[in-house]
Amino acid sequence: MKVAVVGTGYVGLVSGTCFAESGNQVTCVDIDASKVEKMKNGYVPIYEPGLEILFDRNTKQGRLHFTTDLAEGVKDAKIIFLALPTPPGADGSADLSFVLKVAKDLSEIITDYKVIVDKSTVPVGTAERVEAVLLEKLDHSLFDVVSNPEFLREGVAVEDFMKPDRVVVGTSSEKAKKVMTALYEPFVRQGNPIIFMDERSAEMTKYAANSYLATRISFMNEIANLCERLGADVDMVRKGIGSDSRIGKRFLFPGVGYGGSCFPKDVQALAKTSQEKEYDFKILKAVMHVNDLQKEILSTKIMKYFDGDLTGKTIGVWGLAFKPNTDDIREAPALTIISRLLNKGAKVKAYDPEAMENVKQVFGNKIEFSANEYDAIQGVDALAIVTEWNEFRTPDFDKMKQIMNQPTIFDGRNIYDVQVTRDLGFYYDSIGR
Ligand code: NAD
């Protein structure tokens, strides 16, 4: 099948590459000319494990193409995915200008039947708005608009896309349903479902999923904070509740708050939608408030340890990305933590395997970037662990003690055993233990 993907970011590039991998002819369209140029030259512009191999294979075999020209990109496509940004607007609602602009551009280009798919995370009612824009110029026989929210996780995006738990497709058109089924069948051969529903329910499903996951995180963070005050160990509590099949093991890890390009903006957007409908969604407000506070917890622990004054102190930071295996730093807790440390007069030395270039755009030379995790703790008064990259899990503790000014660790991800680390001679504080 001929497929066009408009917007070649984390979602668009992964989707496009995986559709090509299953034999489709895919053209990815992006307005960022330098990004398109890089991709044409064989360079993958984001870090996502497993993507490069598929990208190389499919570009070399001529199934994956790139262009900045929307008309050229969609000319032969039967199906057009919109994987465009939907950032938070000033009032917290999702900004649909990217999606609606491309819909308008498409209305001036399309001459034969296309399935136009909203893959971006968009508020309930957006499929109807996209359809209305298209109808200003086009007859309804020339298109169907489908809502197909994406559930991939950055860091395991290729795996998630190739083997999705489920594919959600919102459409009332039988014709579009057939096209979507043909496209997705290779991805659900093990029997995971393609769940068809109406467009509004599909749009709501995505917000409900992300808001529920964010709720689990904020809930566990509050349980952890209470564990600290009660002398309980949140790790044990997590295992104790996670083995209950009604609850499940995943998404129960406390930490320094959720970040990334999705949870913060999607929870906020759903709260805004509720407000517009005069529904007071109290849980969502609490989830956001708890998360804002949780992002401050590690830096507050550090400040307390040094009696509120970090002048002359140097703090090493391990991990900057909002989670491991990505270079994405959007809404990353590390940004809040570093800003607060700098405000209190600390010097910061940071290391992340993939995200340092992105963080340089934010802090420039206000912090020092290190070549590896040990450089980042040379001569520091404390280490803050912010992202749980695998390489931080079993470090050389003896070496750490030798090179740190003080053997002091604030672990925002609970990656070490409390007693073992203290027995090694470290001051060690973590979350909820
Ligand atoms: P992104 O910012 O990484 O990528 C968006 C791309 O769209 C950029 O490359 C940008 O240059 C391009 N673009 C902007 N305007 C354009 C235009 N007019 N024509 C062509 N290209 C244009 O965004 P993302 O993280 O891939 O997210 C895209 C959507 O998918 C969002 O709605 C997001 O909420 C949703 N989503 C993201 C994830 C995730 O993990 N990142 C997961 C599920 C859903």
Residue 190 structure tokens: 């093990």
Q: Is the CB of 56 under 6 A from ligand 1?
A: no
Nearest CA to ligand 1 atom 10: 7
Over residues 73-100, the mean pLDDT reads 96
Tell me which amino acid residue 402 is: Q
Nearest CA to ligand 1 atom 7: 7
Per the CB < 8 A criterion, the answer to whether 161 and 15 are in contact is yes
* 92: number of Cβ within 10 Å: 16
Give the model's confidence band at 87: pLDDT under 50 very low, under 70 low, under 90 confident, else very high: very high
CA–CA dist 236, 241 (Å, integer): 9
pLDDT at position 71:
98
Which residues touch 230 (CB under 8 Å, ≥6 apart)? none
Tell me which amino acid residue 380 is: V
Confirm whether 28 is a catalytic residue.
no
Per the CB < 8 A criterion, the answer to whether 168 and 202 are in contact is yes
Over residues 51-57, the mean pLDDT reads 98
* 145 φ, ψ (degrees, to nearest 5): -105, 130
Give the model's confidence band at 69: pLDDT under 50 very low, under 70 low, under 90 confident, else very high: very high
Over residues 312-325, the mean pLDDT reads 97
Q: Is the CB of 84 under 6 A from ligand 1?
A: yes
Residue 354 structure tokens: 């993939």
Give the tens place of pLDDT for each residue, 162-190.
999 999 999 999 999 999 999 999 999 99
Q: Is the CB of 73 under 6 A from ligand 1?
A: no
Per the CB < 8 A criterion, the answer to whether 86 and 232 are in contact is no
What mean pLDDT value characterizes the chain?
A: 97
Give the model's confidence band at 111: pLDDT under 50 very low, under 70 low, under 90 confident, else very high: very high
The H or E element spanning position 115 is strand 114-118
Over residues 111-137, the mean pLDDT reads 98
List 18, 28, 227, 262, catalytic entry: 262
Whose CA is closest to 406, among 374, 387, 378?
378
pLDDT at position 362:
97
Helix (H, G, I), strand (E, B) or coil at 385: strand
Give the model's confidence band at 354: pLDDT under 50 very low, under 70 low, under 90 confident, else very high: very high
Q: Is the CB of 262 under 6 A from ligand 1?
A: yes
Per the CB < 8 A criterion, the answer to whether 103 and 96 are in contact is no
pLDDT at position 302:
98
Residue 262, classified by CB atoms within 10 Å of its CB into exposed (0-12), middle (13-18) or buried (19+), is buried
pLDDT at position 251:
95
Residue 54 structure tokens: 């598929």
Whose CA is closest to 385, among 342, 306, 328, 321?
321
Sequence-ordered alpha helix ranges (H) in 243-347: 263-276, 282-305, 333-343
CA–CA dist 194, 166 (Å, integer): 6
% of the chain at pLDDT higher than 70: 100
pLDDT at position 389:
98
Whose CA is closest to 144, among 162, 129, 131?
131
Per the CB < 8 A criterion, the answer to whether 411 and 430 are in contact is yes
Integer-rounded Cα radius of gyration of the chain: 23
Give the model's confidence band at 103: pLDDT under 50 very low, under 70 low, under 90 confident, else very high: very high
Give the tens place of pLDDT for each residue, 239-297.
999 999 999 999 999 999 999 999 999 999 999 999 999 999 999 999 999 999 999 99
pLDDT at position 320:
98
CA–CA dist 283, 286 (Å, integer): 5
| d(CA 176, ligand 1 centre) in Å | 23
CA–CA dist 90, 272 (Å, integer): 11
pLDDT at position 10:
95
Residue 316 structure tokens: 């090493």
Give the model's confidence band at 317: pLDDT under 50 very low, under 70 low, under 90 confident, else very high: very high
Residue with tokens 């057939």: 178
Closest-lying ligand 1 atom to the alpha carbon of residue 262: 34
Tell me which amino acid residue 313 is: K
Give the model's confidence band at 331: pLDDT under 50 very low, under 70 low, under 90 confident, else very high: very high
| d(CA 11, ligand 1 centre) in Å | 6
% of the chain at pLDDT higher than 90: 99
Nearest CA to ligand 1 atom 13: 7
Give the tens place of pLDDT for each residue, 195-239.
999 999 999 999 999 999 999 999 999 999 999 999 999 999 999
pLDDT at position 136:
98
